[in-house]
Amino acid sequence: MSTKIGFVSTRFSGTDGVTMEANKWADVLLENGYEVFWFAGELNKDEEICFTVPEAHFKDPTNQEINDQVFGKKSRSLYLTDKIQEIKGFLKLKLREFIDRFQIDLLIVENALTIPLQIPLGLALTETIVERQIPSIAHHHDFYWERTRFLVNAVDDYIHMAFPPRLPSLEHVVINTAAQEELAHRIGIASIVIPNVLDFDHPPKANSTGSEVFKKSIGMTSGDLMILQPTRIVQRKGIEHAIEFVKQLNNPAYKLCISHEAGDEGFEYSEWIVQVAENMGVDLRIIQTGVDDPWNHKSGSQNRLSLWDIYPHADFITFPSLYEGFGNAFLEALYFKKPVLINRYAIFVRDIEPIGFELVVMDQFLTPKVIDKARLILEDSGLRKELGERNYELARKHFSYRMLWKNLNFLLTRFFGLDHL
């Protein structure tokens, strides 16, 4: 009988980094003979492998009410404490039901023991892991101390208990070396670094139906060249630099396309970005149709637009982020062999740049040298192809599924010994 793995988070749906990395981990585990099941407040998987608990979602109304009253404040009421404990108790029952129904052997907790957006779920997971002594992996994407909104709070006791907890049956995985050092320094927890990955041993397959939907959705003609910003519209993505980049290229054929709308983090920045593009005379297209993650194989999703339908049409990728935990869009650009403009955010400088990718690199601002290099690549299809192939091979060595499996196999062996299938 194969080992059964249970993925747990607040949601597994959409194109956020947590959902997409969890899907990649699941791909690798399935390929190596494991069974995979899912627990979250929102799921886009087939029902027979899912356990959906809406109260576990960070957008659950009661949870949002809790968050509104504990972040930015220094004290909480007895009522609020009781409410947190009540929901924690409910979620513990649901977690036990999930574990028992699918006979889960190991939990993989995706960011739910990292960011305190769903405090009752984090507490419920911590207590369940302790009480069941179930082998678990906490996959950390971004810690609370990396976000200013969590620094003043009325739940410091809960944060220290569960975000993340120190437990004998819990192994910790981070996505960059800075997070590994901070976790050890702040809490004394050892971890291993597993960077984000893609299946570089199997190049992407084009979806002709999805491609037609995409072309119609943004109204591009055959003479247009697409500069793709493949991210949500949030401030840390530095999209104003992408607009300035297209303006300085000074060619009306270049259209800036943003693959995602604003989403969870408000619309003020989005509105400002649209105004900036208009003021600079940059033709900006924002994809208005919902974009699915490429791993959503749920029945009825085949006609939806996927990220994998968008990348093939891009002539150049902009990724001028100010901060990233790793940078999925960067890997995706390499996967589709596209040239990339990248800002030297801290994790890129430390964990990615030393590998030696051939990129168009800016350091917080655009220079004539950067623009000239980008223009040269845009005007030379042979050079674009050469750079794409070279970067793809480097990525295959460092960020492939094979690298992910090597690390996961190490963790599973620590839990179950050599014969752990």
CATH of the domain at 164: 3.40.50.2000
Are 164 and 267 in a shared domain? Answer: no
d(CA 315, CA 329) in angstroms, rounded, equals 15
Are 74 and 159 in a shared domain? Answer: yes
160-176: pLDDT as tens digits: 999 999 999 999 999 99
345-367: pLDDT as tens digits: 999 999 999 999 999 999 999 99
Residue 175 within a domain: yes
The DSSP call for residue 167 is -
d(CA 102, CA 35) in angstroms, rounded, equals 10
Are 182 and 228 in a shared domain? Answer: no
Are 120 and 239 in a shared domain? Answer: no
Residue 159 has pLDDT above 90, yes or no: yes
pLDDT tier for residue 216 given thresholds of 50, 70 and 90? low
Q: What is the distance of C-alpha 396 from the center of its chain? A: 19
Are 143 and 245 in a shared domain? Answer: no
Q: Is 110 helix (H, G, I), strand (E, B) or coil?
A: strand
Residue 304 has pLDDT above 70, yes or no: no
Residue 57 within a domain: yes
Average pLDDT over residues 186-199: 96
Are 187 and 257 in a shared domain? Answer: no
Tokens 């670094």 identify what position?
Answer: 193
Q: Is 21 helix (H, G, I), strand (E, B) or coil?
A: helix
Q: 258: closest CA among 298, 285, 296, 277?
A: 285
71 is written with which tokens?
A: 């972040």
Question: What Cα–Cα distance (Å) separates residue 405 from each residue in 25, 188, 271?
Answer: 8, 26, 42
Q: 168: closest CA among 134, 123, 192, 122?
A: 134
Residue 302 has pLDDT above 60, yes or no: no
Residue 155 within a domain: yes
* Bridge partner list, 229: 258
Are 54 and 137 in a shared domain? Answer: yes
User: How many domains are there within the chain?
Assistant: 2
Residue 203 within a domain: no
Residue 202 within a domain: no
d(CA 22, CA 83) in angstroms, rounded, equals 30
- Cα Rg for the chain, rounded, in angstroms? 22
The domain of 245 spans 208-398
Per cent of the chain over pLDDT 70 is 91
User: Between these two residues, 263 and 345, which has the higher pLDDT value?
Assistant: 345
> 170-187: string of b/e by CB count within 10 Å (b at 16+)?
bbbbbbbebbbebbeeee
The neighbour count for residue 152, using CB atoms within 10 Å, is 12
Are 114 and 218 in a shared domain? Answer: no
Residue 278 has pLDDT above 60, yes or no: yes
Are 408 and 381 in a shared domain? Answer: no
pLDDT tier for residue 210 given thresholds of 50, 70 and 90? low
Residue 421 within a domain: no
Are 135 and 229 in a shared domain? Answer: no
- pTM attached to this predicted model: 0.91
Residue 413 has pLDDT above 80, yes or no: yes
d(CA 276, CA 229) in angstroms, rounded, equals 15
Q: 324: closest CA among 360, 293, 348?
A: 348
The average confidence (pLDDT) of the chain is 92
Are 185 and 235 in a shared domain? Answer: no
Helix/strand/coil percent split, the chain, to 5: 50, 15, 35
pLDDT at 299: 47
Are 265 and 382 in a shared domain? Answer: yes
Tokens 């480097």 identify what position?
Answer: 394
